[in-house]
A = this chain, B = another copy of it.
Amino acid sequence: MTSQALLIDRFFLPGAFTAEPREPVGVAMQFAAGEEIYAQAEPVEFVYRLVSGAVRSTRLLSDGRRQIGDFYYPGDVFGLETSETHRFSAEGLGDCQVQVLKRFAPSRSGEDRIRFDRMISAATSRELDRAQDHILLLARMTACEKVSSFLLSIANRFKAELTVLPMSRQDMADYLGLTIETISRMLGRLQADGVVEFMGCRHFRIRHRSALDRLAAS
């Protein structure tokens, strides 16, 4: 195995980033809260892997409407857009650390090149799967179902007793195709019904999982 191959495997390690790598994997970068990692319409140069923090990918329409494509958490690969330029921008939701790798490196050839391409297409496939789930969510779910399945998917991702929401209400709204007021109302309702419990607006725990599963109804 070449060291390039090792690098690529480390970069694309699925799941959360746990082990300390012995050698640097791509270039490590740090971004502040709200800082842009790459911009919409900018040429695609790199692939990114989130080490810590959380990232959102967003798309702006000319009239100011905003759509969030996805949220990324530690271990996720993002920025792998297929065209020449980025169709989304990416911003940190808080301070975050990112590993950066050249998207098209002429130095990569032979085995390494194949390896890299295969990993990229695996990551693209995961992206497509998530996009398709997102479509189902947006097209055929009520506000309550959207919010329920959103909470559920974050909780499932982190599997901790207490789940932290790294994004604002506005971010949730722009992801789910709702307004902040509706988000707030639905969260209030879920709490009033004893399904979840909030401690401050960014921390919650699930109190009645089967009810939440039922409400998410997918």
Contacts and interface: CB of A to CB of B under 8 A. Distances in A.
Contacts of A125: 82, 124
A181 interface: no
Nearest to A68: B139
A129 B84 CA distance: 12
Q: How many copies does the complex hold?
A: 2
10 contacts: A61-B136, A65-B140, A67-B139, A67-B140, A82-B128, A83-B129, A114-B114, A117-B121, A131-B135, A139-B174
A139 B138 contact: yes
Contacts of A67: 135-136, 139-140
B117 A82 contact: no
A126 interface: yes
A139 B143 CA distance: 12
Interface size band for A: 35 or more
Interface string A42-72: 0000000000000000010111011101000
A69 B117 contact: no
A4 B65 CA distance: 47
A182 to B, nearest CB: 13
A177 interface: yes
A120 interface: yes
A80 to B, nearest CB: 9
Contacts of A63: 217
A83 B132 CA distance: 13
B65 A135 contact: no
